[in-house]
Chains A and B, each alone.
Chain A
């Protein structure tokens, strides 16, 4: 379904692998398992990968400081099992776009067709800075009064990315079926090209996060100074924030009015910016569905389609299960139990039902639309 190109083993990749090896050796996996995990292609571009790695690192970090307190199995974090792949896979499987539902035109019209340009995007910052490129796309000469253009310009960077482009691949609206998308990411010296069956939200959201991070810094909402983070060299503004500031920044989308202030700039990227609040919910929650389930035990099959995933590690042995003590699914448990109500509930026939005259409980608050 997908192709990736230009996957090269970088020094950082190897270093990450070493960390992974340490974790895997603790979880009882073999060296060959670990090597397979290291060699597995990261199915995206560096900007996308490192932005999600920065989120994983903020929510489930490596914690060497917990070794003395809780034991060595509590040291590895989400990056050691490549949890960023879980987030990227989920967002890239967020929405299928059907060819037959796309047409040239405006927003959802009477025939329920979606406009083609809602899903096509070309951000070219090759000869300009990132903010100017965004303003060009949004057809803006001036920003809203709430936004400090100079400050935004100073802070906004998409890291090494100077062009990001998404378009339909051979769209034929006369045929039915899932549309395919081409995604290009160009850095100074590499180009990443991928074809995906669903709209590539994962990458698109990372540019949103950089813009929101730039506004977060422009407004002085950061508590720590931003700095280039050598762990995430492919990332932009967002990855330059400290761990806690990354999360504070995401929260401005939900509860800080960021998407309202940035609406004009975001609109070419995300038609309905309100869904970004849902996306922040998911960025946090996916750590539960990914890290703390058995997902990492799928090994190199973990980003396959669900039917092609195969457990490669005993479910009680995956990293997070060792950290939680959950033994994994079972057919049954021998455990002591009792019934609390001897003889069962009191349940008279209707004719013997004797409800009290006043059923209203205490502290009742009246409301609602009748």
Chain B
């Protein structure tokens, strides 16, 4: 695609949704540039060993069996942040990952690849709390929760979002939540406190099976798509890339990460004369956003790129530039491009100020809840299938994962110090906290199959002292590297403590024999708000200070949407800002840029209360 109307920077969680909407609804030609690799595309048969092709526009390039070969489901293969194939770094695996200047006990978890960090994700798809949109000063008045609902519904349809399956692990969580006095919520629009199944972008388990029998403990058929299996296979492999069912075409993989749910839909536009076109080009790092400043203001005109394999550089011109590179790379690129910064570019980063509360259960307890099984087996089912919500404070997610991730998240990631030196307040509902090492670590990991964790997701609020700037010390081939900082504020800590206590109580009410609070330091995942609407962007997602430059990723969010996993909001935003920007009909091309109304939502535009 030599002359795109729009360049989208980043094919992660957000860029493909924005590109697809622009091509399908507005007839625009969109070139999506991605810094990382593309898994499951025939043009890149060895995406980490060989540069492969340049660009893909044909849905027939997608190859699910090739994806199966590349996504091995192994933990170290995939998730090792240095050596894994799902990491932030060049596709060339003989090279180091991209360096970030991080001055604290913290961990940034991102992926550069087509699909971005949704290649890791659990598929959790809850909506924002209406409270976080309609009742907080951190969300602009111009957009109400009701305005967002149609976009949620669209995205839920595209991604097969439905209630997650309850397996042995979830039954234990539900027992604890019920015993603690919480009711089940049956709504997607959460305004009360309670527990509910996750709304997951994962197809129903065993939608069809190879022998026509239901998928349950008696099922002895194949899990291969070629043998007729459809839907989720109940393996908790979503953090490893989730190429299941094996043999399925890419678009039929059960978990609808961005590379599965949106990218094929984007490429399909090339086979429809009534739509614009979408091209996706991996292995391409955008190093500069070009602007024309000759008329007084600043207007985006295109980008400079660098091929991550050859180092070759080029310039691509476009009528409109959309930044969807994520909460760290979007502001970094902005700042390295020398674009105007009036104090909020890169600032206000939120990350749900996570914590992690672990319960170990004895066999009898699990058996009393699940008479058929003795173990919870955290690797069976979906990684997170049940949750707790408390609008205004945050939420909890029940989590099961493979043991490498469990050992790290449960016992080897903390800000509390080593548990052998870390006292526990006897009034608190956990037995231990901090790092668990040595004999005790091995004892705990020997109980892996009877262990489950609850993730705390705090409704942390944006602060200008958190975020991304340019490093004073380090640069790489793309300019100064990002300097990333996040520290919770007192009110964020108070919310997190309350949620951690609720999580521990749920474990205790379910009969856990030991409860451990990991007391995480900042885990920079679920990042939001570093290029906020109302501060850096207007409500159309267009930069205040650069015309024709839009941000369509989570950095545009004004807050962390209350604590639910940000995925639906991310995709809603990615579908919507550029919709506002480019109008709501196909003939509203960027050349007639939406200078008129700041946003053009279809549907309600007033606040619901």
Residues of A within 8 A of B (CB): 1, 58-61, 63, 65-66, 69-70, 74, 77, 89-90, 93-96, 98, 100-101, 107-108, 112-114, 118, 176-178, 197-198, 243-244, 247-248, 251, 254-255, 271-272, 274-275, 277-278, 280-281, 284-285, 287-295, 305-307, 309, 311, 315, 320-321, 323-341, 344-347, 350, 353, 355-370
Contacts and interface: CB of A to CB of B under 8 A. Distances in A.
B545 interface: no
A280 B415 CA distance: 11
Given A334-B220, A353-B149, A93 B82 contact: yes
Contact of A365 (B49, B311, B409, B491): B491
27 contacts: A58-B437, A70-B442, A70-B443, A70-B446, A95-B99, A101-B475, A244-B420, A277-B104, A281-B106, A288-B411, A289-B81, A293-B80, A295-B80, A334-B219, A339-B165, A341-B184, A341-B186, A341-B197, A346-B188, A355-B130, A355-B146, A361-B391, A361-B392, A367-B489, A367-B492, A368-B461, A368-B463
A278 B103 contact: yes
B379 A360 contact: no
B437, B442, B471 pick with most chain A CB within 10 angstroms: B442
Contacts of B143: none
Interface in B79-111: 79-85, 93-97, 99, 101-107
Given A324-B403, A361-B392, A350 B150 contact: yes
Given A281-B521, A332-B234, A361-B393, A340 B381 contact: no
Contacts of A333: 233-235, 380-381
Contacts of A320: 403, 445
A201 to B, nearest CB: 10
Contacts of B205: 337
A24 B438 CA distance: 20
A356 B191 contact: yes
Interface in B203-249: 205, 215-220, 223-224, 229, 233-235, 237, 240, 244-246
A289 B408 CA distance: 7
A287 B439 CA distance: 14
B592 interface: no
A60 B75 contact: no
Contact of A114 (B237, B377, B474): B474
B378 to A, nearest CB: 9
B166 A340 contact: yes
B441 A336 contact: no
B609 interface: yes
Nearest to B485: A274
A244 B418 contact: yes
A355 B217 contact: no
B247 to A, nearest CB: 9
A-B residue pairs, 4 tightest by C-beta: A368-B461, A288-B408, A274-B103, A332-B223
B429 interface: no
Nearest to B95: A96
B348 interface: yes
Interface of B: 46, 48-49, 72-77, 79-85, 93-97, 99, 101-107, 129-131, 134-135, 137-138, 145-146, 149-150, 153, 162-163, 165-168, 170, 174, 184, 186-189, 191-193, 196-197, 199, 205, 215-220, 223-224, 229, 233-235, 237, 240, 244-246, 311, 348, 372-373, 377, 379-381, 386, 390-393, 402-409, 411-413, 415, 417-418, 420-421, 435, 437-439, 441-443, 445-446, 448-449, 461-464, 471-477, 479-480, 489-492, 494-495, 498, 521, 559, 603-604, 608-609
B473 A107 contact: yes
A74 B229 CA distance: 38
B255 to A, nearest CB: 13
A93 B376 CA distance: 37
B131 A278 contact: no
Given A281-B105, A355-B145, A365-B491, A98 B393 contact: no
Contact of B392 (A291, A292, A364): A364
Contacts of A344: 162-163
Contact of A59 (B79, B409, B438): B438
Given A289-B79, A340-B174, A66 B93 contact: no
B167 A335 contact: yes
A353 B149 CA distance: 9
Contact of B480 (A95, A112, A289): A112
A368 B559 contact: yes
Contact of B215 (A95, A280, A291, A334): A334
Given A275-B102, A336-B217, 4 more contacts: A114-B473, A248-B418, A344-B163, A368-B489
A330 B245 CA distance: 10
B159 to A, nearest CB: 14
Given A306-B93, A339-B163, A361-B392, A90 B441 contact: no
A337 B472 contact: no
Contacts of A69: 443
User: Chain A interface mostly helix, strand, loop or mixed?
Assistant: loop
Nearest to B216: A336
Contact of A363 (B96, B146, B498): B498
B525 to A, nearest CB: 14
Contacts of B608: 353, 355
A359 B131 contact: yes
A291 B163 CA distance: 35
Contact of B149 (A243, A324, A350, A368): A350
Given A243-B438, A345-B199, A292 B445 contact: yes
Given A347-B188, A359-B130, A366-B491, A340 B442 contact: no
B27 to A, nearest CB: 26
A197 B94 CA distance: 9
B471 A108 contact: yes
Contacts of B49: 307
B317 to A, nearest CB: 25
Given A324-B448, A335-B167, A355-B609, A98 B392 contact: no
Contacts of B79: 289, 293
A329 B223 CA distance: 13
A322 to B, nearest CB: 10
Nearest to B477: A98
Given A90-B83, A332-B235, A113 B162 contact: no
Contacts of A63: 438-439, 442
A160 B405 CA distance: 37
B191 A359 contact: yes
B403 A292 contact: yes
A142 to B, nearest CB: 26
B418 A247 contact: yes
A74 B348 CA distance: 46
B76 A98 contact: no
A91 to B, nearest CB: 9
B246, B381, B392 pick with most chain A CB within 10 angstroms: B392
B473 A118 contact: yes
Nearest to A305: B94
Given A294-B75, A341-B184, A368-B138, A335 B489 contact: no
A326 B386 CA distance: 22
A177 B420 CA distance: 46
B437 A59 contact: yes
B96 A292 contact: no
A220 to B, nearest CB: 16
B73, B130, B234, B407 pick with most chain A CB within 10 angstroms: B407
A364 B196 CA distance: 21
A332 B130 CA distance: 36
Nearest to A345: B188
A118 B473 CA distance: 9
A60 B403 CA distance: 14
Contacts of A197: 94-96
A131 to B, nearest CB: 26
A69 B446 CA distance: 11
A18 B26 CA distance: 68
B480 A108 contact: yes
Given A306-B48, A331-B235, A335-B167, A293 B102 contact: no
